[in-house]
Structure formats: structure tokens, C-alpha cells
Amino acid sequence: LCYTPPPPMGSRIFEIVKPHGSCNYLPDGPLKCENITFLTPPGSMMGYVAGRIRPAQVSEVNEFCATNNVLAPAMSIYAAGKRLLHSGPFMEEQKRRFENSIASASRLIVLGVAMNPLDVHIWEPIARTTAKVYLVDPAPERHLEWAKAKGIHRRVFLLANDFRSAIAKVKALLHL
């Protein structure tokens, strides 16, 4: 598994792309922020801080969160009109890599992702791809209804209802 740069085509290394960021994406380098208030005009979507991001270990994330009362890890959760507080360029790059990965894939495994069709930077690339889409979801109805509404239901399949029972099936799909 690798976070960046993308592995060579045909390699047995799998790229990790997290278009919403992750709790383990931290600023790269020493950073301590305390007792700062950011003021921006109403409706502004601009982030406050930009800089390099790196994947971190759990202990580093715990330390970062315990010592910084201003910035969180580089991540976002879908909400209408959401703003990303920092690391906008990094997050835009994650979205671009996600879209490129989806466009070039022959198989997609959607694992642990709730269906929110309003989150278009996730679901529109999936709707546009010609790849087969395999779901791992205990309640796949919303995914399947979305696929039918998009006219892609013939290439969307329920692989498993839970992670544990999906492991062997995912390995087989990926020829591992």
C-alpha cells in the first residue's frame, strides 16, 4: 500500500486515495497552533492554512490533536457548503487522483462508504466509469437504487454485507 506517489501501472502495490482526507493526514513538519481565531467573510470557502501533508501513525495523531486546539487533521465530512479549514491544495490533489483512479479502473470496490448522491465528487466519477462496481455494505439498498437511477445497475454488484466476509472475495477480485 502507498499513499503517494501513485504506484507504477501493473505493480502489485495499491494506492491509497482518500478524497475526503483522513484522521491520519497531518501537517508535514512541526506545527503548533493554539488560541487562534480565524475571521472570514460570510460565504467564504477559502481555507485558512495550506502546506504539505503526510500520513501519520495513530500515536502521532493523538499527540497532534492533544497539542493543537486550532487545526484538526486534514479531513472533511460531507455537508452542504462545507469548507476545508486547511490543506486545500492537498485535498484537491486527493480528489483529482480519486477521479483519475476511478476513470482508469476495471473494478471498483466500494467499502464502508455511505451513499450520498449530493457528494458529487465521489459518486459522479463512479457513475461515469465503465468499471464493474462491487459493494460491501450491510444495507446496500441506497447504493443499488442510485445505480438503477443512473442506469448503471447492470455493472453494480453486492459483494458482501460485511468486511469480514468480503476479505476473501476482495482478494479474489484483485488476484492476490
| % residues pLDDT > 70 (the chain) | 79
Mean pLDDT of 26-51: 67
User: Is the pLDDT assigned to residue 62 strictly greater than 60?
Assistant: yes
User: Is the pLDDT assigned to residue 22 strictly greater than 70?
Assistant: yes
Whole-model pTM?
0.76
Better-scored residue on pLDDT, 28 or 132? 132
The per-residue pLDDT for range 91-109, each reduced to its tens digit, is 888 888 899 989 988 899 9
Strand partners, 157: 134
Mean pLDDT of 134-143: 95
The per-residue pLDDT for range 72-93, each reduced to its tens digit, is 788 876 666 666 666 778 888 8
Question: How many other CB atoms are there within 10 angstroms of residue 142's CB atom?
Answer: 13
Q: How much is the pLDDT for 41?
A: 64
User: Is the pLDDT assigned to residue 64 strictly greater than 90?
Assistant: no
Q: How much is the pLDDT for 25?
A: 87
CA distances for 123 relative to 100, 102, 127, angstroms: 13, 10, 6
CA distances for 148 relative to 9, 53, 64, 128, angstroms: 32, 38, 43, 13
User: Is the pLDDT assigned to residue 24 strictly greater than 60?
Assistant: yes
